[in-house]
Chain A
């Protein structure tokens, strides 16, 4: 399962149709460990669908998906998470009524709490809470740890999501538009947190993002989606120079 020769993610010839409409077709690529890949493409290109297929929210009608060499194509979402996958959602990955610390603690508890005892009261001193506190401090939200997550600014909400990923400590992370709705002044700090997480943990990251400058500055490779297909996956320079990409993607309004 953790054979280092296996890629962190291998997507092979994956396709999906919904009600006769072709949503994704023939998408195949693999991501070696420790790489950061940006996914770009116009709205409706299938970026979030691809994430939903990888994380198990949707099942493909064709093709296979493997995480660290383990075929997860038929596994439900929570089993894929246990296989080392973590993700955020485009709209919200938070529990707005829970405090910042409770949000992060839940992620830590999912990783640590193998022997869940129903009536065990989570005191301030148990391992999951301690880990959660560290992760909350790490993203700079220590002072807001008992605020309700729903009351935070967009930028802080995204930081809580990152802290939850740190607590869950997945080997493969899918970020669906981590900068969406974030005030432009907060973008550099947030991309610094993402870069640090990627560098310090050595995790593999895939990120859908519309801020091109953010994507091009962070990632090792860029995957370009268009009408449900993968047009290209290559270094940012090579992708931007690719004439097919230029006509298909950059020629269309984003």
Chain B
């Protein structure tokens, strides 16, 4: 029983990280049709920025953790906005070029991060509470899991409120469904593009800081390794669907955790099988629109 609880909470914590990456990916694809292979770099740059801030402000205090989260999200947002304005904006509707430029950017930024911070993982510390455990129904749960879960839930709530209740949110939802009509109404949809990139970058940057606590280190490859699963989550959930991304994040992470424990470490393999099944039987994803 305690093993199941541990796997559940750890899976939810990992799912939270997937969601922070996949939410932005899914919104960006849904609104603009851009498959953003550079999204992992938004996460990595957020993680490094958060770590740099934390180690300068006393890594083991709650204050420095909170500041590192804010800075990580802000740096991710800035980097994403910059990417949209400088690189992607010229290439809308040119999907091959978008793939080339975002793949290129992800390779270049990994090399850049290696140049600055080295290729070895940098091990990090958080507030002491993070490395302790909490007893939940007999299972000893590492505390950092709870932080990831709470943060992702707040991000999900914030995004849903933003999309449902604000004017720009309505423009984004409308743009996901029928972009040409949004422009035909006289709305400059490019502002919404930049906004969605910025929001996605902020979530990824926040995810970077949390991922570094979850795994205990930062490395230039952190974003890339999470990005693969975030893409799988996005496809399973349905491209463009935020709720789909949330549901699929949890499902994929739980599947991975349980398969790793009970099926001899085959978590990644099982996830890819699940992806293949979804593509075969429900190509538009669990909550995606029929094309």
Per-residue CB proximity of A85-104 to B under 8 Å, as 1/0? 01101001111111000110
Which A residue's beta carbon lies closest to that of B195? A118
Contacts A55-B184, A81-B186, A110-B186 given; indicate if A95 touches B168 (C-beta within 8 A).
no
> Which of A76, A94, A113, A119 contacts B181, CB < 8 Å?
A94
Contacts A106-B171, A116-B167, A122-B166 given; indicate if A78 touches B186 (C-beta within 8 A).
yes
A111 near B: Cβ within 8 Å? yes
| CB interface residues, A 3-23, toward B, < 8 Å | none
> Which of A57, A120, A164 contacts B185, CB < 8 Å?
A164
| CB interface residues, B 174-203, toward A, < 8 Å | 174, 177-178, 180-189, 195
CB distance from A14 to the nearest CB of B (A): 19
> Which of B166, B180, B183 contacts A120, CB < 8 Å?
B166
Per-residue CB proximity of B241-275 to A under 8 Å, as 1/0? 00000000000000000000000000000000000
B185 and A95 contact, CB distance less than 8 A: no
> Which of B177, B184, B289 contacts A87, CB < 8 Å?
B184
Among B171, B174, B195, the one with the most A-chain Cβ atoms within 10 Å of its Cβ is B174
Residues of A within 8 A of B188 (CB): 78
Residues of A within 8 A of B180 (CB): 57, 77, 89
Which B residue's beta carbon lies closest to that of A118? B168
> Which of B173, B185, B195 contacts A81, CB < 8 Å?
B185
CB distance from B24 to the nearest CB of A (A): 18
Residues of B within 8 A of A110 (CB): 185-187
Which B residue's beta carbon lies closest to that of A108? B185
Chain B interface main SS type: helix
Number of chain A residues whose Cβ lies closer than 8 Å to a Cβ of chain B: 35
Among B165, B166, B185, the one with the most A-chain Cβ atoms within 10 Å of its Cβ is B185
A196 near B: Cβ within 8 Å? no
A82 near B: Cβ within 8 Å? yes
A109 and B167 contact, CB distance less than 8 A: yes
Cα-based distance from A83 to B187 in the complex (angstroms): 12
Residues of A within 8 A of B165 (CB): 121-122
A168 near B: Cβ within 8 Å? yes
B91 near A: Cβ within 8 Å? no
| CB interface residues, B 76-103, toward A, < 8 Å | none
Residues of B within 8 A of A92 (CB): 178, 181
Contacts A57-B180, A89-B180 given; indicate if A82 touches B186 (C-beta within 8 A).
yes
CB distance from B73 to the nearest CB of A (A): 17
Among A55, A89, A106, A116, the one with the most B-chain Cβ atoms within 10 Å of its Cβ is A106
A122 and B167 contact, CB distance less than 8 A: yes
Per-residue CB proximity of A17-39 to B under 8 Å, as 1/0? 00000000000000000000000
Contacts A92-B178, A95-B173, A106-B174 given; indicate if A78 touches B183 (C-beta within 8 A).
yes
Contacts A94-B178, A95-B178 given; indicate if A107 touches B185 (C-beta within 8 A).
yes
B150 near A: Cβ within 8 Å? no
A168 and B167 contact, CB distance less than 8 A: no
* Chain B residues with a Cβ under 8 A of chain A: 165-168, 170-171, 173-174, 177-178, 180-189, 195, 289
- List 18 A-B residue pairs with CB atoms under 8 Å apart, sorted by A's residue number: A76-B183, A77-B183, A78-B187, A78-B188, A93-B178, A93-B184, A95-B181, A96-B177, A97-B289, A102-B174, A103-B174, A106-B174, A106-B182, A110-B185, A117-B167, A118-B167, A121-B166, A122-B166
Give me the 10 closest cross-chain CB pairs, A-B, nearest first.
A81-B186, A77-B183, A110-B185, A95-B177, A95-B174, A110-B186, A78-B183, A78-B188, A82-B186, A110-B187
* Chain A residues with a Cβ under 8 A of chain B: 55, 57, 76-78, 81-82, 86-87, 89, 92-98, 102-103, 105-107, 109-111, 113, 116-122, 164, 168
